[in-house]
Structure formats: structure tokens, C-alpha cells
Amino acid sequence: MSEAMRGVTTRNAVVFIAVILGGAALYWLRGILTPLILAIFLMILIDGFARVLDHRIPGFPKRFSMPAALIISVLLFALTVYLLAENARAFVAQLIGYGPKLEAMISSTAASLGVAVPPTLGELIDRLNPTRFMGLAAQRLQNIATDGFFILIYLGFLLASRMGIKRKIVTLYPTRDERENAVEIFERIRIGIERYVWVQTVTGLMIAVSVGLLMWALGVENAFFWAFFIFLASYIPVVGGLIGTLIPPLFALLQFDGWWQAAVLFAGAQAVFFVVGNVITPRMQGASLNLDPVVVLLSLAFWAAIWGAPGAFLSSPLTVVAMVILMQFPGTRWIAVLLSWDGNPERGEQADDPSEPARPQKPPKL
């Protein structure tokens, strides 16, 4: 084996080992890193929202853009929690009323499977041991509250330290070329995250509004709650919208005496999800994030395994960040090429800032 081949093999082996060790470190430090990464993600979104107010609203005072964006973001978050709490309470009360029909469905299903003595709903609940699940749910809610508290603390400190970032860049990169390169990398990461949120918001609204109107036309109860649930679930790439469109038809079976309403809802929801997920979303992601659809799915599995639900939510932005960083080094550029949609990870540099007016695209680099 030549010296050059040995060097390439050694380099690739080092990269592979570094990925494994990095994944292990991310898993072990997930309790510390997850709130910090979520706070950084929120800070980028609030900063982008402030620039939208500054650039898109004529005459809006620039010094008030950041406070206004922060206040509106907090109000939107509080409104989301309120809507979920109010609708979830009504949903649970309604679900209790479905008990007799659920008993009948269990009996008919057991009879079709040849079960002589079908289990009752109470027996199934006892077998599932709801006390254990309630304990896990209570612990998870407590963890979410704790994480939310730390996220707010991190977010406050990050917003307070925004003014010192430019001075730190000047100190870290003394030459002008180095500073411009660093700023370009940071801008690509910021625009990539904002583009991801924009894509997921637009496609989530498409799915939620379409399925919500279909549920309203069929007379499905809690149509607004299900539409809102589908919209929130769509922020988890690939599987979020699929799960959101599968659950409402199951509850439509409980509500209606016949099955055709659930069948129509299932067919319509899957048609909407297929069109949005296989036609609209890949085009929007390919034109903005430049991530391969297979990479999106694999990154979802990877980050969900490491960080759970926050990892699933942040999987695509974190993969964009990894691709931008890996592209900067000759030894890892091949990984960035594999992560990209068209084999040209540098194409993302030409993406327009979503908070600014559109500008003509530069020709791709050859």
C-alpha cells in the first residue's frame, strides 16, 4: 500500500472513531447539552423574527425589534401551552365517554380472532399497568418543566451576551479574511436553521389545515385540537406528520357508528401527507437545506436515539450544522458531500436569508 493510500485510510479511520466518541459524549452529556442547544435554537429563531419585523414592516423601530420579537415569541409559547391544556382536558373527558363503544370493539375483534372469552376494558387497563405509565408520565412532565426552566435561563444569558459576539470574533480571527470566513460559516448555520423552521412551518400548516377542514366536513369532534396536534407533530421530520395523520382516524372509529368516515379521513389524510411529504417538502428542503432525504431520516433516528424528543425535533438543524462544519476541512469534506442533496454542500451558501427580500441566485460553483 502506498504512503498516500495509508494516509487516506488513517484519516478516514480517525474520522470514524471521532464520530463514535462524539456520539458517546453527546449521549452522556445530554442532560447539559439539550437545554443549551434548545436555547441556542430559540435565540436564533427570536433573532430571525426580530429581523423579519425590522425588514418586512416599514417604519418599525429597529431598537424595538428584538424586545418585540421576544415578547411575541413568549406569548405564542404561552398560547400554545394554553390551547393544548384546554383541549387535552376536553379530549380526556370525551375519551372516557367512549368506554362502552371501545368495549364493544374489543369484543367484536376478539370474536373475529376466535377468542372465546374476550378481555374487558378494565382487564386490559390492569394488564397495561397504568400506574407505572402515569408515574413515567409525571416524571417526564417534571423533567420537561426542569428543562424549560434551564432553557429560559440559558436563553436569557445568551441574549445578554449577543453584543459581545462580534468582539469575540475579532479576537479569535485577527485577519480580515479569517473573520469573513467565520462570519460566512455562522451565517450559513443561521440561515439553514431558519430555513428549516420555515419549511416545517409551511408544510405543517398545509397538512394541518387540509386535514382539519376534512375532519370538520366529516363532523369529527375536536377537529381543531387534532389539526393543532398535527401542526405541532409536523416539526418532527418524516414521522411527525405521518403519526399526526394516523391517530385521528382511529378516534373517528370510536365516534361514528359506521366506518366510512374513518376510512375517508384516513385516505384523505394520507393523500395530503403523501403530496406534501413527497412532492412539496423535498423540493423546499432541497432548495434550502440541501439535505438528502435519506440523510434526513437517518439523522432523525440518530438524534432521537441520543437526545430523545428534543433530538428528533432538532435532527435536521443539527445535521445542517454538521454539514457546514464538516465542509470546512479537507479530511471531512467527503462526509459533507454525502450529507448534501445534490453532492454540492457549498450550494447552501447561496440561500437567501428568509428575513430579507429575495435576491437573484448566483450560478453554482463547478
CA distance 276 to 270: 10
What pLDDT is recorded for position 117?
Answer: 60
Which DSSP category does 60 fall into?
A: -
Alpha-carbon separation of residue 91 from 85, 88, 139, 251, 281 (angstroms): 10, 5, 22, 11, 31
Residue 340 has φ and ψ, to the nearest 5°, of -75, 160
Q: Which residues contact 119 (CB under 8 A, 6 or more apart)?
A: 106, 110, 127
Window from 122-131, 177-186, 189-198, 275-284 with minimum mean pLDDT: 122-131
Q: What cell numbers appear for 32 in the block? A: 447539559
Alpha-carbon separation of residue 108 from 183, 242, 319, 356 (angstroms): 64, 28, 47, 59
- Write out pLDDT tens, residues 9-34: 777 777 778 778 888 888 888 888 88
Exposure of 24 by Cβ count < 10 A (0-12 exposed, 13-18 middle, 19+ buried)? exposed
Strand positions, DSSP E, the chain: none
- Write out pLDDT tens, residues 133-150: 445 544 555 566 567 778
- Write out pLDDT tens, residues 306-344: 888 788 888 888 888 888 888 877 777 888 888 887 776
CA distance 275 to 282: 10
